[in-house]
Structure 1
Amino acid sequence: MRSRFLLVLTLLLCSFLNTSFAQEKITGSLLKEFGETYTVPQPDIPVDTTATYRVVFDIAKSPENPAKLNPYFNTVARFLNMNTSAGVTQDHLKPVLVVHGSAAFGLLTNQYYKEKFGVDNPNLKLLERFHALNIPIVLCGQTAGSRGITSEKRWQHTQMALSAMNALVYYQNLNYALISF
């Protein structure tokens, strides 16, 4: 009887410990409709809330379903949300998106995206939010040329680089850390 009681008590205790350390999914404070993250109550690597986070995201892939938001664009939203939730101020977050490969189609205007894929461009709302936060979106000029993404077809706030390679080197020379997928 005593061993049964100890077993039940142990199981209850383990159950409590597992739920008390479970990570909670949260919406961000900066971009509420994008970039959900998980809480990490006591990270072993602390977040330096005084540092400036200069990060260049190398984004070359798109989702198989063109009606879905590009998850790599959304990762930038996650980066912003999780860091602001951790206490980093918005002015200390300096992301840049360098877009090439199939991800470049996510920078099409709604008209041309719909013409190409038959659906509205699901990325535009997030891109507009990035623009409102002064986050550069840079398109590889080589990708634009090879995929026929002319200036009239591009989202209006797209910046152009000679190539993604040049843009990535440019930002890394300005001490931006590279995050590549």
Structure 2
Amino acid sequence: MYKAKTLLATAALAAVSLAAHAGTMDSPDFWTTPTVHDYGKIHFLPNGAFKPKPGHTYKVVFSLTQGGKKPDEVSPALDHVARAVNLYVASGVPLSKLKFVAVASGSATSLALDDAHYRAQFGVPNPNLPLIAELKKDGITIAVCGQAMAEHHFEYDWIDPRVTLSLSALTTLTTLQQEGYAFMPL
């Protein structure tokens, strides 16, 4: 009987705790975008483990291979780059200490197209360009794989001017890893 009461009390406490936690997740200020506004939502955990150290420089090369599910949706991979920026800055790391490079290939290749050519290909404005502009403003390099551009039959002069044309994603990733960048596949 005692075990049953203890188990019931523990279950009730867990339910109350879960309900209280769920309520905070629904509040409008639970998710924030402190640096890359409107992109890369985070919920900052001030006491979370493995937080970045404000005095360190962080070098990360992101391999973006996920395009949006629909042409009018931002690439989830590119949005995760914004999330990384927001998490590091919320942890106290200044933008000047973030050496981030994101290279698009595969189904993410089209995110690099300028608006006119994206519209011609997909019939809608390129939803990634506002995010690319925000990331570029914050010092993040966005690149596109030259080989993927050719494979998709996209001309090189169709690339948005804020995006860097790289020889390939393969060489970008390996070259930057040799220079001490951490590899983050998205």
Pick the TM interval, shorter chain.
0.7 to 0.9
1:169 — aligned with what?
A: 174
Corresponding residue to 1:39 among 38, 41, 44: 44
1:137 — aligned with what?
A: 142
Offset at 1:157?
2.1
RMSD: 2.6
Distance 1:10 1:139 in 2: 53
TM-score by structure 1 length? Answer: 0.86
What CA deviation, in whole Å up to 9, does each residue of 1:84-104 have, x standing for no partner? 112222111121111111211
Structure-2 change in CA distance of 1:17 and 1:47 (3 Å): farther
The runs of 5 or more residues in structure 1 that have no matched partner are: 1-5
| 2:59–2:182 contact (8 Å) kept in structure 1 | yes
Q: Where do residues 143-158 of structure 1 align in structure 2 (5 Å cutoff)?
A: 143-158=148-163
Helix, strand or coil for the counterpart of 1:37? coil
Offset at 1:7?
9.3
Distance 2:41 2:86 in 1: 7
2:110 — aligned with what?
A: 105
What CA deviation, in whole Å up to 9, does each residue of 1:17-75 have, x standing for no partner? 44666675321221121111123242233432222111000012212211101111010
What CA deviation, in whole Å up to 9, does each residue of 1:117-169 have, x standing for no partner? 11111000011112222221111111111222223211112212221111111
Distance 1:100 1:174 in 2: 21
Corresponding residue to 1:53 among 38, 51, 58: 58
Structure-2 change in CA distance of 1:26 and 1:152 (3 Å): same
1:180 — aligned with what?
A: 185
| 1:50–1:88 contact (8 Å) kept in structure 2 | yes
Helix, strand or coil for the counterpart of 1:26? coil
The runs of 5 or more residues in structure 2 that have no matched partner are: 1-5
Q: Comparing 128-137 with 72-81, which one deviates more in the overlay? A: 128-137
What is the aligned residue count?
Answer: 180
